[in-house]
């Protein structure tokens, strides 16, 4: 199959002459997926392809004191061995802060960081070449705890929200105040298809990169930056993508740039397909989080003040962390009317795998805290958790903690009413409360809102 004949998904939708609203819409990619004829990146076979592989750091933080690839370059069938010194363009992936190297040059900052690239005639040869590369490291102290990183001043981004006078509100003696600290761990995207890229020289000094991704323009910028060429010489084609959930937004820029470098160096197509183990070890995750929260309400359940201290572990490089943190910050107090709010949010740099985009984009961590607080507050007040939420639900004409006035329809109360009715909330809650014994039934409720700018 020639490079320019690589199939990518496309389909034409029949013009029904109607709007989409209220219509049953056929997914144009569904038939090929159901029939098993959809071609994912690892299904594509290009004649003359080489196999790419990445040498990765075994250390969380270290200085590279020696990197010798001479022996690997002498192995028959090995067509390229590249280090940071061989990058013709810029050794930084274009992102918000552009701190993420395509290949580590002097320091490695997380286990699994890319140190060298190999292209060979077979996968086994590529693996053999990696084993012959000599690397010596001077191990350095590693920051592995987000609180320790915060104390060390390793802050990537800092956002804050101020509304009303939280200090005065919390100083009132007639309020019920609930305090809590909530922690969430790393989370793996677990998309069904690991990351993979194929780089193909275009014969004009540029490279075409095919791959499983969500944001091809991110990858295009990374390819052009690494090659030192203009965007017109860096063509990127998104193939059928077997799941992403955010994990194929920012993170594929690294393998995209790496496979482009190998294709450019060899003048041949190169496949760089990550194994499941490699993908899980080195690709981005959901940010671990820590939320400290104080929630204050009157004794009849009216929210008066919320104070939030939100901390995220961004890993070694910023990627999309500042935006992820921002989205969590503006949603930190939930979909409720709150006259007094103070939110302090930071994302810190640690010597761990970088974190990036993930569904919810910074909100799930803080929603867990906010809704746990609402349940604990309801318990303290002796109030139905549903009624507490209904009493404080944002509606048309209300303002969020950032001062955004909701001028169009707001369906939150209606949604809560419908959920309560369809789940038989009141009856089940009363019935389950009478259960005894070590195994009991329960029914829970949580609410959130999300601005869809991202």
- Measured CA to CA, the distance from residue 271 to residue 255 in angstroms comes to 10
Q: Mean of the per-residue pLDDT values for the chain? A: 95
User: What is the per-residue pLDDT across 406-420, written as a single tens digit (0 to 9) for each?
Assistant: 998 899 999 999 999
Residue ranges and CATH numbers for the domains of the chain are 50-140+190-282 (3.90.1170.50), 146-187+285-433 (3.30.365.10)
Residue 13's pLDDT band, with cuts at 50, 70 and 90, is low
| Residue 1, pLDDT above cutoff 50 | no
User: What is the per-residue pLDDT across 145-193, written as a single tens digit (0 to 9) for each?
Assistant: 999 999 999 999 999 999 999 999 999 999 999 999 999 999 999 999 9
- Measured CA to CA, the distance from residue 359 to residue 361 in angstroms comes to 5
| Residue 336, pLDDT above cutoff 60 | yes
> Residue 243, Cα to own-chain centre: how many angstroms?
13
Helices and strands: H and E segment counts in the chain = 13, 15
Q: What is the mean pLDDT of residues 433-440?
A: 92
| Residue 16, pLDDT above cutoff 80 | no
| Residue 59, pLDDT above cutoff 70 | yes
User: What is the per-residue pLDDT across 93-123, written as a single tens digit (0 to 9) for each?
Assistant: 999 999 999 999 999 999 999 999 999 999 9
Q: For residue 4, what pLDDT is reported? A: 46
Q: For residue 115, what pLDDT is reported? A: 99
The pTM (predicted TM-score) of the whole model is 0.93
The region of weakest confidence among 33-37, 142-146, 263-267, 313-317 is 33-37
Q: What is the mean pLDDT of residues 200-224?
A: 97
Q: How many CA atoms lie within 13 A of 191 on its CB side?
A: 25
Q: For residue 12, what pLDDT is reported? A: 54
| Residue 5, pLDDT above cutoff 90 | no
113, 254 in Cβ contact below 8 A? no
Cross-strand partners of 54: 117
DSSP annotation of 302 reads -
Q: For residue 17, what pLDDT is reported? A: 63
Residue 18's pLDDT band, with cuts at 50, 70 and 90, is low
């Amino acid at each position: 199959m020639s490079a320019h004949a690589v199939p990518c998904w496309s389909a034409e939708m029949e013009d029904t002459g109607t709007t989409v609203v209220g219509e049953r819409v056929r997914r144009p990619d569904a038939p090929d997926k159901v029939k098993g004829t959809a071609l994912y990146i690892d299904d594509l076979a290009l004649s003359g392809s080489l196999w790419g592989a990445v040498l990765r750091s075994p250390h969380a933080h270290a200085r590279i004191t020696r990197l010798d690839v001479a022996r690997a370059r002498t192995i028959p069938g090995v067509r390229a061995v590249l280090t940071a010194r061989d990058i013709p363009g810029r050794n930084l992936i274009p992102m918000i802060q552009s701190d993420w190297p395509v290949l580590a040059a002097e320091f490695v900052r997380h286990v699994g960081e890319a140190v060298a690239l190999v292209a060979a005639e077979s996968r086994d040869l590529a693996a053999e070449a990696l084993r012959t590369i000599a690397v010596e490291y001077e191990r350095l102290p590693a920051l592995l705890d987000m609180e320790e990183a915060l104390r060390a001043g390793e802050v990537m981004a800092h956002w804050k929200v101020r509304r009303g006078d939280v200090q005065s509100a919390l100083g009132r003696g007639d309020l019920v105040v609930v305090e809590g600290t909530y922690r969430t761990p790393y989370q793996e995207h677990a998309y069904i298809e690991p990351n993979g890229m194929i780089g193909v020289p275009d014969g004009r000094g540029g490279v075409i990169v095919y791959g499983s991704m969500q944001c091809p323009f991110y990858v295009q910028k990374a390819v052009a930056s690494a090659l030192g060429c203009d965007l017109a010489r860096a063509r990127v084609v998104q193939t059928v993508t077997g799941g992403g959930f955010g994990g194929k937004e920012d993170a594929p820029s690294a393998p995209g740039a790496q496979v482009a470098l190998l294709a450019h160096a060899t003048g041949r197509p190169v496949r760089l397909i990550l194994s499941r183990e490699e993908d899980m070890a080195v690709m981005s995750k959901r940010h671990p989080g820590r939320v400290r929260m104080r929630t204050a309400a009157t004794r009849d359940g009216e929210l008066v003040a919320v104070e939030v201290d939100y901390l995220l572990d961004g890993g070694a490089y910023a990627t999309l962390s500042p935006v992820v943190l921002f989205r969590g910050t503006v949603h930190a107090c939930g979909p409720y009317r709150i006259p007094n709010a103070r939110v302090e949010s930071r994302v810190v740099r640690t010597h761990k795998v970088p974190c990036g985009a993930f569904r919810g984009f910074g909100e799930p961590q803080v929603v867990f805290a906010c809704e746990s607080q609402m349940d604990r507050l309801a318990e303290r007040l002796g109030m139905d958790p549903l009624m507490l939420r209904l009493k404080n639900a944002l509606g048309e004409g209300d303002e969020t903690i950032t001062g955004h006035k909701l001028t169009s329809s707001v369906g939150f109360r209606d949604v809560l009413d419908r959920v309560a009715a369809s789940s038989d909330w009141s009856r089940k809650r009363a019935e389950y409360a009478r259960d005894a014994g070590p195994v009991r039934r329960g029914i829970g409720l949580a609410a959130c809102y999300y601005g869809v700018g991202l």
